[in-house]
Amino acid sequence: MNQKIITRFPPSPTGNFHVGSARTALFNFLFARKNNGKFILRIEDTDKTRSKKEFEDNIFESLEWLGLKYDEFYRQSDRGKIHRTYIEKMLDDGSIYEAEDKIIRFKNPNKKVKFNDLVRGEIEFDTTELKDFIIAKSVDEPLYHLAVVIDDFESNITHVIRGEDHISNTPRQILIQETISAPRPIYAHLPLILAPDRSKLSKRKHGESVSLDYYRNKGYSPEAMINYLALLGWNPGTEQEIFTLPELINVFDFSRVHKGGAIFDEKKLAWMNRKHFNLGKTRDK
């Protein structure tokens, strides 16, 4: 591909930065850097009641602590005018319409959508069951699917790398892309991160131990955290387990991202932390 590779990390500032978000940010960063591409941070703050400044600050601090530098940054809420232009155009051409209750719905063409995922291979959905789904609350209030598709298109995103929980969102987003003639990005859905008992790592069940700050406050180093996150769902295909960020940029590749859930094991992280600590000592001599 001679097109410049552009990835994005679009967290919503609605809670403390999750270790799963850190892993998603890392994989987007590695893939962009490896290909001399661009890595964009987009704060998805259109949900005004749930988005909070303190959580946005926590995103910036977390990325900085991890050493994941982005090339561009914007807030979704600053792009209302652009979103509105698309909504008006789509209302005009009939691809979306205002329903009786004033919400805006997408006119579903009811067809099969097939896409090729870099991790999971070919995935096919029949979109009929999605009906005419809601796309905006008003011309000034696009919902997630529409805002994501417009912003990804406007930013020329080539690869959408995100958690597996977003697979079911993909067919809706592809239908929207097709109506606004946006090229389809390449998708890569990363395996879920699981607790040692194989349940999904969630704040409700696992409390603060899902947040990056929890590990940061316990004294784990960013180098160990990055190394550990890289191995959550990916392996280098060799016996090597200890990597620095520049080494990861070199070796990272989607062909060795697995489909199965990745278990978050703090003991392994602690072991890596000691290894990186010792590496640091030899370097400082």
Closer CB to ligand GLU, 8 or 276, in the complex: 8
- Site for ligand GLU, residues 155 to 184, rule: CB under 6 A: 162, 166
Rule CB under 6 A: say whether 63 interacts with ligand GLU. Answer: no
Closest C-alpha to 226, from 237, 218, 216: 216
**Closest CB to ligand GLU among residues 133, 271:** 133
Please say whether the dihedral angle defined by the alpha carbons of residues 246, 42, 224 and 64, taken in this order, is positive or negative: positive
The smaller minimum CB distance to ligand GLU, of residues 82 and 270, is found at 82
Active-site choice (52, 112, 137, 203): 203
Neighbours of 246 (CB within 10 A): 8
Number of residues that bind ligand GLU (CB under 6 A): 7
Q: With binding defined as CB under 6 A, does residue 12 bind ligand GLU?
A: yes
Whole-number minimum distance, CB 129 to ligand GLU, in Å?
21
Taking CB under 6 A as the criterion, the residue among 6, 7, 10, 233 binding ligand GLU is 10
Residue with smaller CB distance to ligand GLU, 115 or 220:
115
**Segment contacting ligand GLU (CB under 6 A): 7-15, 101-109, 129-137, 210-218?**
7-15
If the CB atoms of residues 26 and 269 are measured against ligand GLU, the closer one turns out to be: 26
Nearest to ligand GLU of 76, 227 (CB atom): 76
Burial string for 112-129 (b: 16+ CB within 10 Å, else e) reads: ebebebbbbeebebebee
Query: Which span (10-18, 59-67, 103-111, 268-276) binds ligand GLU, by CB under 6 A?
Result: 10-18
Q: With the CA atoms of 252, 159, 128 and 97 taken in that order, what torsion angle do they form, in degrees rounded to the nearest 10?
A: 150
How many angstroms separate the CA atoms of 199 and 193, rounded? 9
From residue 43, how far is each of 20, 47, 104, 250 by CA, in Å? 16, 11, 24, 28
CA 104 to chain centre: 26
Q: Candidates 6-14, 53-61, 192-200, 203-211 — which segment interacts with ligand GLU by CB under 6 A?
A: 6-14
Q: Is 200 in the site for ligand GLU (CB under 6 A)?
A: no
| 129-148 footprint of ligand GLU as x/- string (CB under 6 A) | -------------------x
Contact between 11 and ligand GLU per CB under 6 A: yes
203 assigned to active site: yes
Active site residues: 203
Which residue ranges make up the site for ligand GLU (CB under 6 A)? 10-12, 44, 148, 162, 166
